[in-house]
Amino acid sequence: MKSWIIVTHVLMATVFHSVVGDTVMSSSLVIQNDDPLVHFHGRWDESPGTWWAGSGFKLHVQNLKTMSINLGPHTTAPLASVGVSLDYDSFTTINVSQGLNNIVGPTALNIEQTEGKSTSVVRLNVEGWQNNRINLESVLLNSDAKLLPYTPLKLAFQFVGDSLSAGQFLPEGVDQAWPFLTGERFRAEHNVNAQPGAALTTDTEQTEDTGYFYTTDHNFTTPWDFQRDQPPPTHVVIHIGANDAAQNVSDTEFVQVYTNFLIRLRNLYPHQPVFVFTPWGWPSADGSISQYYQGQYQIIVEQRHKAGDEQVFLVNTTGWVTWEDVFPE
């Protein structure tokens, strides 16, 4: 590990010649994927790769002019969509593939946004809810750029959910989904730990994207390195249950499993407020909303209060999502 860091710094000081598409980046500063100044967020495996919508990395760069990313063989073919934001501006989709991809520069996100600024923050995240795996090998910056430590924002939100939080079917995936937008609105760091099909009561296989069940390099689950959970979340938001309900998990079992989950979360996040969202349910054209586990979320929260944990809050989302919200036409 130590020797890697030394190698990285040697490489960082080296000027490389490389061809990116049609653009010859005659001199680039190469940042290796294990450079401690790359601020990873969310769920990454050791390759390092991720297919978790919303997971990504951040860079704080002095004198940024161009940035490309070099992606490895685990990257989804033909492409994966990532969202990129400069200086906390809104996110733009860029489709990336194995090999070199322009991210910032004349043929990608225009640098004009950062002109006149001495330092810039680049945020990049996997956007899709499927076919969305990226495998980061290195980042290339203009040779006169300098990588600085990334200073996280003060607020940090941890969202736990399923397809209803992962941006399934949205054109820009999770970047248009409510957890991500909430994080942006509050100017917070945000991690979205959500996958379509995710349930609390099933085994690990069903907590993974179905597209990756058989990626044996992970043995059906992504090792979750909590050391990377930096900064630690200041708030935890959970919206889950739809897939447990779909699998006919009983009220009693759901309450038990959810309660155990909260107890385990407390080991990681000992004092953070936890917001237990009731489901928005399934709205119908006639205005009615079909619900599941009605009353059970209250029981879960009351049990935590009885156990002396007052920092668990029920959020009644009834009526937040209506038929018109889902089918605006």
**Widest pairwise Cα distance in the chain:** 65
Stretch 116-145: interaction string toward ligand NAG, x if CB under 6 A: ------------------------------
Give the integer Cα–Cα distance in Å for 183 and 189: 6
Crossing angle for the helix pair 251-268 and 296-306, to the nearest 10 degrees: 40
250 contacts ligand NAG (rule: CB under 6 A): no
**302-321 residues near ligand NAG, rule: CB under 6 A:** 316, 318-319
Measured from the CB atom, the residue of 206 and 256 that comes closer to ligand NAG is: 206
95 contacts ligand NAG (rule: CB under 6 A): yes
26 contacts ligand NAG (rule: CB under 6 A): no
Classify 243 as helix, strand or coil: helix
Among 143, 298, 303, 311, the residue binding ligand NAG under the rule CB under 6 A is 298
230 contacts ligand NAG (rule: CB under 6 A): no
Give the integer Cα–Cα distance in Å for 325 and 129: 20
Among 55, 68, 75, 81, the residue binding ligand NAG under the rule CB under 6 A is 81
Among 17, 248, 286, 310, the residue binding ligand NAG under the rule CB under 6 A is 248
Which distant-in-sequence residues (6+ apart) come within 8 Å of 239 by Cβ?
159, 160, 161, 162, 164, 165, 277, 279, 317
- 314's enclosing H/E stretch is strand 312-315
Measured from the CB atom, the residue of 233 and 281 that comes closer to ligand NAG is: 281
Q: What letter does residue 204 receive in the DSSP assignment?
A: G
Q: What letter does residue 260 receive in the DSSP assignment?
A: H
Tokens of 63: 């004198």
**153-192 residues near ligand NAG, rule: CB under 6 A:** none
| Binding residues for ligand NAG, total number by CB under 6 A | 11
Kindly state the smallest distance separating residue 204's Cβ from ligand NAG, in Å. Answer: 7
Binding site for ligand NAG (CB under 6 A): 79, 81, 93, 95, 219, 247-248, 298, 316, 318-319
